[in-house]
Structure 1
Amino acid sequence: MVNIALVKIKMESDFLSFHIYKFANVLFDINLLTEDEYNLFIYGTINKESNDYIRLGLSSNVVVTLERNDQLKNLVLSKNGAIRANDEFKKFMHHQDDLFRFELSKFIT
């Protein structure tokens, strides 16, 4: 069942990436969408800081969880795109599930 769910998510993601997102890009390019509307549609939030993390490759679910737990303040995004965490964030990570920690560990130095 898990594999079927992953395949379904992948198919939906591909459809959005190849068709709907291109349409949103065109609408934004011809100024029919504002920047906030575009960011809300593509990234799911108008928060610029959250969008930066999503652009780096973090899933929107992870970023929303970080926002909800007020943890974005404990992360710093360097000029070269590396994410650095303070000790408070490391304590937070210690109490998270394995999947969440695994996804973040790919990005945090």
Structure 2
Amino acid sequence: MNTFFRAASLGLMLGLNPWLAQAQTEASERMAQRIDQRQERQAQRLAEASSTGQLTAREQHRLARQQQHTARMEQRAEADGQLSRREARRLEHSQDHNSRAIARQKHDGQTQPQQQP
């Protein structure tokens, strides 16, 4: 009887395998899209803070390098065509870190020196 259940479950697994693969691919694409959108929003936040003078040149450079590091992490994670949950968690953790750094630097009271005319 136990063998029957094993055979039945194996048959179900084999029959559902294409469906599961498609579901994993769709989830991977959604995670990648979410990460891409967040990267864009953070880049916009950096650009806005730079244009309003809320960041010094050094802060701007450091934050841009952090964003580049996260972008490279994303490229490596997506190199195999899939973004695993673990990779997505690592990317989101890096983006969380970058987001907090942007917020701290924008509101720390240091501003870009005004240029003399």
TM-score, normalised to structure 1, is 0.33
| Bigger relative CO (Cα 8 Å, ≥ 6 apart) | 2
Question: More helix per residue: 1 or 2?
Answer: 2
Question: More strand per residue: 1 or 2?
Answer: 1
Greater Rg by CA: 2
